[in-house]
Structure 1
């Protein structure tokens, strides 16, 4: 398993939220190593354990066992005659190594799964916090809009009152000017 590059997380860069690395929540778990380590042997052992469960391994093993039995039963060779004690020893040796390797692979996979589950939980939690913040911000903006709408309504009413007053004064002034003019 390759480890994500932590050097990018160490140097803060100003990036938009959508450009962040999608494994950024996994970076805190990079320092964790499995109980068996992350050295060459552990990685190779895990690779072998994974290979034991593949169809290629099963087919090759079946062909080799059949070839072994056929060669010894037909008398082409007699290095392991029936009851195939050497073949049983080979299977015992294989299982003696396969079982711990498989357990090693399962343990390492369990560690990775736990780290990923923790990172995913953190990601979901951060998403929930961000959603709550956006909801609060939207509520504040709605409140501001309601206040602005109320102020706009008051200004419109004031403008209407002033317009009516101007109209009233204009009529009054017009009436006085007409009354002060000499009559023909």
Structure 2
């Protein structure tokens, strides 16, 4: 029963609501443009230029309303500079929210920057871990490859084993075989003569 009552009071979600007449006129302002303007204002308020102009403004205001005749004073000293106090209070009441808005926008930018830095750091960490694994696998593969000393020792042991079994030819046989090969190659290179020559 309660769900039905709530549904009737808020209206159905699948049907558009009727537009209500508002007492105050609605105006929309681009929040981005307003934020940019507030940041510019907050930055200007933090400069020496602003402080100098504000000091000059207050000094001229106080001097005018102190030393001028009472008929020319628009904020007399007798009333403790009420108008100046009101102006400075209004400035402070508008400056504080604008500065806070600028700080919030800066916080949002910092948050986005930190998220991007975190993502970049995670990618760098993943790349580093991948490269570490690759280097480790290369080291393992290099351990399995034969070194020059190992190959030499294996060849020596094979040579000794072949000498023991008598499978190696003596040095004289090697020279005769080399001489026979050289003579055969000379004969192959000579052109054959024709019978009629």
Does the TM-score normalized on the shorter chain lie above 0.5?
Answer: yes
Q: Deviations over 1:51-101 (max 9, x none)?
A: 112121111101110111001101164111111111111111111210110
User: 5+ residue gaps in structure 1?
Assistant: 1-35, 175-184
| Structure 1 position 71 matched with structure 2 position 71 | no
| 1:161 corresponding residue in structure 2 | 157
* CA separation of 1:105 and 1:51: change in aligned 2, threshold 3 A: same
User: 5+ residue gaps in structure 2?
Assistant: 1-28, 174-197
TM-score calculated relative to the size of structure 1: 0.65
Runs of 4+ in 1 over 6 A off after TM superposition: none
Which protein shows a greater Rg? 2
**How far apart are the structure 2 equivalents of 1:136 and 1:81?**
81
8 Å contact from structure 2 (residues 35, 105) kept in 1 = no
**How far apart are the structure 1 equivalents of 2:62 and 2:109?**
41
**How far apart are the structure 2 equivalents of 1:133 and 1:123?**
15
* CA separation of 1:166 and 1:50: change in aligned 2, threshold 3 A: same
